[in-house]
Structure 1
Amino acid sequence: MYQTDPPIPPKESLPTMYDLPSEDPEEPGLPDEFHIYQPQLLEETFRPPTYTADEIFVASDLNIYYSTLNPRWYKRPDWFAVVGTSRFYQQRDLRLSYVIWQEGISPFVAVELLSPRTEKEDLGQSLRIVEENQPPTKWQVYEQILRVPYYIVFDRYTDNLRAFVLQADSYTELNLEEPRIWMPRLEIGLGLWQGTYKGIERLWLRWYDNENNWLLTLAEQQSQRAEQQSQRAEQERQRAEQQSQRAEQERQRAEQERQRAERLAAKLRELGVNPDELI
């Protein structure tokens, strides 16, 4: 397990979220499209029933500052989720970064989307002995410092999904018989979904519920509500049409009864009987 021997400086002397950079000038530019869309889909479908929306914070490509001894060391997951914390920094502000010594809660799940440049570090194949001027690798930070319970790695070039769960002091890779990982504490799971998102058909990482139903995006929820409203409107139209048909049938029966009564009255008059006197 990664350990730091020097004494931890007092929290009051450590930088806050506002003091730490949210971007690395040595890594300019935005991620590629997949690194933009995939985290969006994860965020849109991440709705664990065990937590309210105000108790969940999710982010993509956001710095996590993790070391009180080296406050400017950070890692930047492609996507991560924290549960049991406020949606906002100190209950009021949007976060510029996630500063672990202020937040006090580590991410519950982190997702990395493999790229050739970062593959070895993402998969824990480039571990290093931490020195004063050399930070630990991403794997070491997730496993030994932040102790993130679930670490998910997805290679979009091979569609290979790998999942690591924290057991004792180290990550153990799950043997996935199918590309799905159930997380009991969240009561939702993460798996590979074949479908169209943002107009792109491919395999995507997506959250699902305890009935193996894919959790809906906001657009899908709106479409579903619109479809349900359309169906209800059609049902109302059909009921109104049925009521109109029944009313017409009643009118026709009443008309037939009136006509029969008139024919009977006419027949009685032919026989010299005044039908009005029979009442």
Structure 2
Amino acid sequence: MYQKDPPQPAKVALPTMYDLPSEYPEDSGLPDEFHILQSQLLRETFSTPNYPADKVLVATDLNLYYDTHNPLWYKRPDWFAVVGVSRLYEQRDLRLSYVIWQESVAPFVVVELLSPGTEKEDLGKTLREVSQPPTKWEVYERILRIPYYIVFDRYTDKLQAFQLVADIYHPIDLSTPQIWMPSLQVGLGLWQGTYQGIERLWLRWYDTDGNWIPTAVELLAQENQRAEKLAAKLKELGIDPNQL
């Protein structure tokens, strides 16, 4: 007698980026101006020579979905960078969220900008009930194993940094307020300066020579200075640069 194979359990299809919400009504309000400006400066100055630009994703306040058993659970880092993945979703669309089970690559570095309402969770000082989602610290350290976790308090200008060593976050010595990331050949540090008209202490990226990576406005200013010097030199030689 012919015996049929037993029926196989149906596979549950996990949601894609298009299926998952990019915003939730219960989320607290929009980021304040410091969060916006600081995140922009981090985006503008993040550049790693080890990866082409189209293989680097930089995100601000983007939902990060991380749990296949609870696909609606998410965290929303103030700023994070993923290397080795397409900047665009499936190489064609701007991202609505970042879905770990689709990408299979966790962020390399996360930056949280402290506020009074999130400080305890951001620093792993809150306890949760078993039925509740894990805290940011737990997700970053134990689930996603993000190599670098950076926390900056704009009210005190205190910078804290943690590196994943043997699956546990260990504080990085910040006697000099800089964090060098060898595998990216780029570093993050505190910079006193003016960005978009605001003078204060900012987080920004620096290169292998220890130079702050310039913003687009700074690059343009440098080019203008070089052009002015060249024009002045030509005039000393009796050449009108406008006639060239």
- TM-score, normalised via structure 2 length: 0.91
Which of residues 183, 186, 193 is equivalent to 2:184? Answer: 186
Q: Which residue of 2 aligns with 1:34?
A: 34
Return the letter of the residue paired with 1:144. Answer: R
Contact 1:189/1:207, CA 8 A, preserved across alignment: yes
Distance 1:189 1:144, change over 3 A: same
Q: Which runs of 5+ in 2 are unaligned?
A: 1-8
Q: CA offsets per residue over residues 180-231 of structure 1, 9 Å max, x none?
A: 1000011110000000001000000000112111110011111111211222
Counterpart-to-counterpart distance in 1, 2:231 and 2:104: 50
Larger radius of gyration: 1
Deviation (angstroms), 1:22: 0.7
Kindly indicate whether residue 203 of structure 2 is the aligned counterpart of residue 223 of structure 1: no
Q: Which residue of 2 aligns with 1:94?
A: 94
Q: Which residue of 1 aligns with 2:136?
A: 138
Contact 1:127/1:140, CA 8 A, preserved across alignment: no
- Percent of aligned pairs sharing the same letter: 66
Matches within 5 A, 1:149-160: 149-160=147-158
Q: CA offsets per residue over residues 88-133 of structure 1, 9 Å max, x none?
A: 11011100000000011100000000000000000011143543xx
SS at 1:106 equivalent: coil
Counterpart-to-counterpart distance in 1, 2:143 and 2:38: 26
Counterpart-to-counterpart distance in 2, 1:10 and 1:200: 57
Counterpart-to-counterpart distance in 1, 2:12 and 2:88: 21
Q: Which residue of 1 aligns with 2:17?
A: 17
Distance 1:31 1:16, change over 3 A: same
Distance 1:127 1:147, change over 3 A: farther
- TM-score, normalised via structure 1 length: 0.80
Kindly indicate whether residue 104 of structure 2 is the aligned counterpart of residue 110 of structure 1: no
Counterpart-to-counterpart distance in 1, 2:10 and 2:83: 26
Name the Cα RMSD after superposition: 1.7
Matches within 5 A, 1:52-67: 52-67=52-67
Q: Which runs of 5+ in 1 are unaligned?
A: 1-8, 243-279
Return the letter of the residue paired with 1:60. Answer: T
Return the letter of the residue paired with 2:94. Answer: L
| Mean Cα deviation higher: 63-72 or 222-231 | 222-231
Which structure is higher in helix share? 1
Q: CA offsets per residue over residues 234-271 of structure 1, 9 Å max, x none?
A: 222222359xxxxxxxxxxxxxxxxxxxxxxxxxxxxx
Counterpart-to-counterpart distance in 2, 1:103 and 1:124: 26
